[in-house]
């Protein structure tokens, strides 16, 4: 019986034990905490009886050597100091101060510390494992190693002085602050799904903190990284909702992670601050990571360094401030922002390597978006891009360097002041806004391309230097500066809607090409060497221009040298293709070894000075109202006219002049060194003009018309004096000798007895043959013949007057009636004009021109005259030998007979005197021709 009772008692105890186990396990399951959903929004459980007022003092300390063999839940209400603790499945509820000397091993139970208790874990050798759901409402001061395996909530500050690890994905919350500060301590939080810090996050005193594989970390308090601490964030995402300070030599490294700064403040004293007034640099490294700034202030100061490798910064309405030798460096990275201002001062440096910086700006706001002061620098290298829509200011020796990259400024302005500079090397600079330089600032462009879609201006004393580059002006470029402006091995393109205005003493264009598609105004001093100017619109020069080895081509545009300008070109080729070359009055054009070819229009209002090797060739239109002067009489200088050349003022041409085009001498005096006209030329003298030369004026072809004078000797070897296709009355005076060769022609137009072409030679005339064509107004001719038909009176018109014949005296030639279909040749008289043709012209009908017979019209010569004789007569025969029906004018060709010389006229006069009574009676009885009269007189003798 006793045995049965004992057995029963054993069964009851076993049953109670089983029941207790079931109850405990059921409680564990019901309290299992696998997440802390709602923690981040303040819905986390508030600990029972939580009294924030102070921490109770430790009294009646109890020492327990071991806890863990007891299978019941444990509640600690009094201060307790334990050596170690192991909890497998139960609940540990600590309501009093707890001090653990060795380790706490909470395997799967729930471990809760409540009531504002301080838990101090001193173990330096052992570890604290918390694998179950845990709630800490205590301030944890950890001197040992803590391993977290499950979701844990810390309601009070955690001061971690050694090791703090989380090794599984589980939520973690710090309702207050988290601090890691031991120089040898390392804090690692790994594989967290949710991580919340509602207080401050501090890594200090050379401590290290590692965050890895954290899906979301929110820090609501201030993040302090200071005193040479190190923080490494890998594969994680952080959101900082307050200030972040990286100061006093602290280092922060992001690897394949993201930090979002959402603290809404633009206060420069808040936001992200990298500062080290002690002189030790802080470093913020990003590798394959990104930063997002929204309404945030970001400052780098005092030797702070920020580097981005394959990373990015996205900023929205934020401020970036770099100062005091701080450095931000991007490699294969980017900064993209919207309405974000960049301010750099005090030798700060911003470098981009294979990276880009892009700022978009609200057009309605247009704030100043980038400012550089105090020798700060921005450097772009290796295919980087700096693109900005807001204004940029560079001051106080600050610099912007673009090397093998792109600088793009849109709808904004860039301002360079106070010795600041922009350097573009192997790059592209493009802007559609404004580019302003002043106060000794500098723009240097090398091996690059500049596109000016806005306004580029340099005022006061800036400098501009382009080397081996392309400058493309689509709008305007204005350089009014006392500084240097240099285009060296550069292509300057001024497009159809662009313009370049220069005013200053120092403009050098060397080994360059200048394309002027619109306007280029130079109102200063230009020196250009070994360059080409292509003018398609307007190139105006005022002041000074010195060129050497230049090629200037003017297409459909104007090259204008304004008044009071000195234009000097040495060894240049100036080709006016189809435009105009205009020099105003009071200009000085000096050509040294230079050629000018004019295929357009050359208007010269200022003197042109030619030196040996220089020449001017006119192929179209040249208007000269000044002088063409020479330093000496070198024959290598010349003026060639193959177009239309007009003298409109008194002018001197101190170089040989050749003309095969039209030469017009206005009502002025023109003096040339020497002159020669070739075939195809036209020499026109306006009324009152005078043309003189130091040597013989030579006409080897062409025509001479007008009413003017030649001062000097004239040689006509093959030219035509007059015009057979017009009715112009030419009156030419030669104040010198005149030589008329066999291939020369003189055409006289006789309008009436008072108005007729003539040549007045004040010295000697030498005639070596040649052709004379006398054209008579048909109305005048008919009136003369009718007038003298009854009284037989002869009309005499002096066509040539001269002082003397060269090497001969005037004589009379006998008449010859020999005719051909083209010309009648007479024996050569002393004057030498042996081929004379008479024609009539009708002023009302230019096609009604007729060749006249020589029966009624002839010429005479004396010791000083060559005259036209008209008499009443009836032509004896027409050209084919038939009767002419007594008509004085025939439509068929009649060639003038022999010229009646002085001796012949004298003989006739004697015969007429002896037989005067009989002759007069005979004339009254019958009308006979002049030839018949001579026959009658001779037969009666």
**What's the number of domains the chain is made of?**
3
Residue among 696, 580, 596, 686 at smallest CA distance from 638: 596
| Residue 403: inside a domain | no
The mean pLDDT value for 72-79 works out to 62
Other C-beta atoms closer than 10 Å to the C-beta of 48 total 11
Q: How is residue 232 written in tokens?
A: 């490494």
pLDDT interval class at 152 (50, 70, 90): confident
- Tell me the pLDDT of the chain averaged across its residues: 78
Comparing 64-68, 245-249, 288-292, the range with the smallest average pLDDT is 64-68
The answer as to whether 445 is a domain residue is no
631 DSSP assignment: S
Quote the CA–CA distance of 551 and 344 in Å, as a whole number. Answer: 46
Residue 74: pLDDT over 90: no
- Summarize pLDDT for 693-732 with one digit per residue, the tens: 999 999 999 999 999 999 999 999 999 999 888 888 999 9
Per-residue pLDDT tens digits for 771-783: 999 999 988 888 8
Q: Is the pLDDT of residue 4 over 80?
A: no
The Cβ of residue 15 has, within 10 Å, a number of other Cβ atoms equal to 10
For the segment 452-495, what is each residue's pLDDT rounded down to a tens digit?
998 999 998 999 999 999 999 999 999 999 999 999 999 999 99
The tally of CA atoms less than 13 A away on the side-chain side of residue 379 is 16
Q: DSSP 3-state assignment of 146?
A: strand
- Segment 315-333 mean pLDDT: 91
Q: What is the pLDDT of residues 20-56, one digit of tens each?
A: 444 344 333 333 333 333 333 333 334 344 343 433 3
> Are 783 and 902 contained in the same domain?
yes
* CA 650 from centroid of its chain's CA atoms: 43
In a domain, 208, yes or no: no
Q: When comparing pLDDT for 403 and 96, which is higher?
A: 403
Q: Are residues 643 and 680 in the same domain?
A: no
For residues 713 and 360, the model is more confident at 713
Domain-located, residue 274: no
**594 and 723 co-located in one domain:** no
Q: What is the pLDDT of residue 80?
A: 63
Residue 123 clears pLDDT 60, i.e. is over it: no
Q: In which residue are the tokens 């030839």 written?
A: 931
pLDDT digits (tens, 9 = 90+) for 186-225: 888 777 777 888 889 999 989 889 898 888 899 999 999 9
Q: Which residue has the higher pLDDT, 526 or 81?
A: 526
Kindly state the helix (H) or strand (E) to which residue 781 belongs, with its residue range. Answer: helix 778-787
Half-sphere exposure of residue 561: CA atoms within 13 angstroms, side-chain side = 28
> Per the domain annotation, does 832 fall within a domain?
yes
**Beta carbons of 425 and 406 less than 8 angstroms apart:** no
Query: pLDDT-derived band of residue 82, with 50, 70 and 90 as boundaries?
Result: low
Residue 539 and residue 643 in one domain: yes
Mean pLDDT along residues 582-608 = 94
The C-alpha atoms of residue 886 and residue 878 are separated, in whole angstroms, by 10
H or E segment at 11? Answer: helix 2-30
For residues 116-139, average pLDDT: 62
pLDDT at 716: 96
Specify the range with the lowest mean pLDDT, choosing from 348-357, 371-380, 632-641, 779-788. Answer: 779-788
User: At residue 389, does pLDDT exceed 90?
Assistant: no
Q: For residue 626, tell me if it sits in a domain.
A: yes
pLDDT at 935: 41
Q: Is the pLDDT of residue 742 over 50?
A: yes
Same domain, 767 and 783: no
Model pLDDT, residue 939: 39
Look at residue 43 in the predicted model and tell me its pLDDT: 37
658 is a domain residue: yes
Q: What confidence category does residue 546 fall into, taking pLDDT thresholds of 50, 70 and 90? A: very high
Residues 550 and 569 in one domain: yes
Nearest Cα to 492, choosing from 534, 551, 538?
534
Lowest mean pLDDT among 537-546, 711-720, 788-797, 836-845: 788-797
Q: How many CA atoms lie within 13 A of 906 on its CB side?
A: 9
pLDDT at 174: 80
pLDDT at 537: 94
626 shares its domain with 722: no
Q: Are residues 815 and 857 in the same domain?
A: yes
- What is the DSSP secondary-structure string of 911-938? HHHHTHHHHHHHHHH----HHHHHHHHH
Residue 114: pLDDT over 90: no
> Is 627 among the domain residues?
yes
Please tell me the total number of residues recorded for the chain in this structure.
941
- Average pLDDT on 108-132 reads 60
- Cβ contact 757:722 at 8 Å: yes
Same domain, 544 and 660: yes
Are residues 767 and 777 both part of a single domain? no
User: pTM (2 decimals)?
Assistant: 0.73
pLDDT digits (tens, 9 = 90+) for 408-462: 888 788 999 999 999 999 999 888 888 999 989 999 999 999 999 989 999 989 9
* Same domain (yes/no): 794, 725: no
| 701 and 653 co-located in one domain | no
Q: Which domain holds residue 823?
A: 773-908
- In angstroms, the CA 375 to CA 385 distance is 22
Domain limit, last residue, from 621, 648, 667: 667
């Amino acid at each position: 019986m006793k045995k049965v009772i004992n057995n029963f008692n054993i069964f009851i105890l076993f049953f109670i034990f089983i029941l207790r186990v079931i109850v405990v396990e059921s409680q564990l399951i019901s309290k299992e905490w696998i997440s802390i959903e709602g923690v981040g929004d303040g819905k986390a459980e508030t600990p029972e009886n939580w009294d924030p007022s102070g921490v109770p003092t430790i009294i009646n300390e109890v020492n327990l050597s071991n806890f863990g063999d007891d299978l019941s839940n444990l509640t600690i209400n009094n201060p307790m100091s334990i050596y170690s603790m192991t909890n497998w499945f139960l609940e540990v509820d600590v309501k009093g101060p707890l001090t653990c000397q060795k380790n706490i091993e909470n395997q799967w139970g729930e471990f809760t510390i409540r009531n504002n208790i301080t838990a101090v874990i001193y173990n330096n050798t052992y570890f604290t494992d918390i694998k179950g759901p845990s709630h800490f409402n205590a301030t944890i001061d950890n001197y040992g190693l803590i391993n977290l395996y499950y979701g844990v909530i810390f309601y009070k500050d955690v001061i971690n002085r050694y090791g703090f690890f989380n090794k599984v994905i589980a939520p973690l919350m710090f309702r207050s602050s988290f601090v890691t500060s031991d120089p040898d301590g390392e804090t690692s939080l790994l594989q967290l799904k949710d991580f919340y810090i509602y207080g401050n996050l501090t890594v200090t005193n050379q401590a290290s903190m590692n965050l890895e594989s954290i899906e979301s970390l929110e820090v609501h308090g201030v993040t302090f990284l200071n005193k040479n601490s190190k923080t490494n964030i890998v594969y994680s995402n952080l959101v900082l909702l307050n200030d972040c300070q990286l100061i006093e030599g602290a280092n922060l490294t992001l690897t394949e992670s993201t930090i979002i700064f959402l603290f809404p403040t633009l206060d420069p004293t808040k936001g992200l601050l990298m500062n080290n007034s002690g002189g030790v640099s802080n470093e913020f490294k990003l590798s394959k990571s990104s930063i997002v700034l929204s309404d945030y202030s970001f400052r780098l100061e005092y030797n702070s360094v920020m580097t981005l490798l394959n990373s990015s910064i996205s900023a929205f309405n934020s401020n970036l401030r770099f100062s005091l030798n701080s450095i931000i460096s991007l490699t294969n990275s980017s900064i993209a922002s919207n309405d974000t201002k960049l301010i750099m001062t005090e030798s700060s440096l911003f470098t981009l390597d294979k990276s880009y910086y892009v700022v978009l700006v609200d057009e309605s706001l247009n704030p100043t978006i980038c400012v550089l002061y105090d020798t700060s620098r921005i450097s772009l290298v290796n295919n980087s891009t700096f693109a900005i829509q807001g204004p940029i200011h560079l001051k106080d020796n600050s610099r912007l360097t673009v090397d093998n990259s792109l600088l793009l400024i849109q709808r904004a302005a860039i301002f360079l002041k106070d010795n600041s500079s922009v350097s573009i090397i192997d790059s592209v600079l493009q802007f559609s806004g404004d580019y302003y330089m002043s106060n000794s600032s500098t723009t240097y462009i090398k091996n690059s391309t500049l596109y000016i879609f806005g306004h580029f201006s340099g005022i006061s004393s800036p400098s501009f230097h382009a080397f081996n580059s392309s400058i493309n002006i689509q709008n305007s470029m204005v350089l009014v500066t006392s500084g240097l402006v240099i285009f060296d091995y550069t292509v300057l393109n001024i497009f159809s809607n662009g313009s370049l205005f220069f005013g200053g003493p120092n403009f050098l264009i060397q080994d360059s090409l200048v394309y002027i598609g619109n306007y280029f105004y130079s109102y200063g001093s230009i020196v250009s060497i070994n360059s080409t100017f292509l003018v398609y619109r307007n190139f105006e020069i005022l002041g000074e221009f010195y060129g050497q080895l230049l090629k200037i081509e003017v297409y459909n545009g104007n090259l204008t040298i304004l008044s009071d300008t000195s234009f000097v070109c040495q060894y240049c080729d100036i080709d006016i293709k189809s435009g105009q070359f205009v020099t105003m009055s009071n200009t000085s054009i000096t050509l040294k070894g230079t050629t000018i070819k004019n295929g357009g229009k050359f208007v010269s209002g200022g003197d042109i000075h030619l030196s040996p090797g220089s020449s001017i060739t006119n192929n179209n239109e040249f208007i000269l109202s000044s002088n063409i002067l020479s330093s000496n009489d070198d024959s290598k200088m010349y003026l060639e006219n193959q177009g239309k050349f007009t003298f409109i003022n008194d002018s001197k041409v101190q170089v040989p002049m050749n003309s095969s085009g039209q030469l017009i001498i206005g009502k002025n005096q023109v003096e040339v060194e020497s002159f020669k006209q070739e075939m195809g030329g036209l020499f026109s003298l306006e009324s009152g003009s005078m043309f003189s030369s130091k040597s013989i004026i030579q006409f080897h072809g062409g025509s001479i018309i007008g009413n003017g004078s030649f001062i000097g000797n004239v040689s006509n070897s093959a030219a035509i004096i007059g015009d057979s296709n017009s009715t112009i009355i030419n009156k030419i005076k030669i104040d010198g000798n005149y030589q008329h060769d066999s291939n020369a022609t003189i055409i006289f137009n006789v309008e009436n007895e008072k108005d007729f072409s003539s040549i007045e030679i004040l010295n000697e005339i030498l005639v070596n043959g040649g052709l004379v064509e006398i054209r008579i107004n048909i109305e005048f001719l008919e009136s003369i013949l009718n007038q003298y038909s009854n009284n037989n009176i002869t009309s005499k018109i002096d066509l040539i007057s001269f002082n003397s014949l060269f090497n001969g005296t005037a004589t009379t030639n006998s008449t010859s009636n020999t005719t051909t279909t083209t010309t009648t040749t007479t024996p050569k008289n002393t004057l030498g004009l042996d081929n004379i043709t008479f024609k009539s012209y009708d002023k009302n009908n230019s096609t009604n021109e007729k060749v006249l017979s020589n029966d009624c019209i002839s010429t005479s010569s004396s010791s000083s005259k060559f005259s036209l004789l008209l008499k009443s007569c009836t032509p004896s025969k027409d050209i084919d030998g038939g009767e002419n029906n007594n008509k004085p004018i025939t439509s068929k060709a009649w060639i003038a007979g022999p010229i009646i010389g002085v001796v012949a006229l004298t003989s006739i006069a004697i015969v007429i005197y002896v037989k005067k009574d009989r002759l007069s009676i005979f004339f009254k009885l019958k009308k006979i021709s002049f030839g018949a009269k001579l026959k009658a007189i001779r037969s009666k003798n």
